[in-house]
Amino acid sequence: MNISFVVTYTKTRVKSPATAIEYDRSFPTMWAALNFCVRLTALGGDALLIAQYIGDREDAALEGQSLSDAIEHQRDRIEAA
């Protein structure tokens, strides 16, 4: 079974979401995806969504406040290590 996690993000925060250029990047684990999001936000980017894929089908997604909370929790784990 092939599971992957795709982060949809912008490289910089923009005032108008309609003008944002979105990028996608794939990761083998949620841990790796969240680590990328922590680095991304520290550099001024904006993580919009983490989608979990099983095979070629989207199975679950993390976005909005849930994504922000997960990134903050990951940041705390990294700082505690």
Q: Other C-beta atoms within 10 Å of 20: how many?
A: 16
**Domain boundaries defined on the chain:** 3-80
pLDDT value of position 36: 98
Q: Torsion over CA of 13, 17, 22 and 25, rounded to 10 degrees?
A: 60
pLDDT value of position 11: 87
pLDDT value of position 14: 67
* pTM of the full structure: 0.89
The amino acid sitting at 81 is: A
As a whole number of angstroms, the distance between CA 18 and CA 70 comes to 25
- For each successive 10 residues of the chain (81 residues), what is the average pLDDT? 94 73 96 97 94 94 96 95 82
Chain-centre distance for alpha carbon 50: 5
pLDDT value of position 19: 75
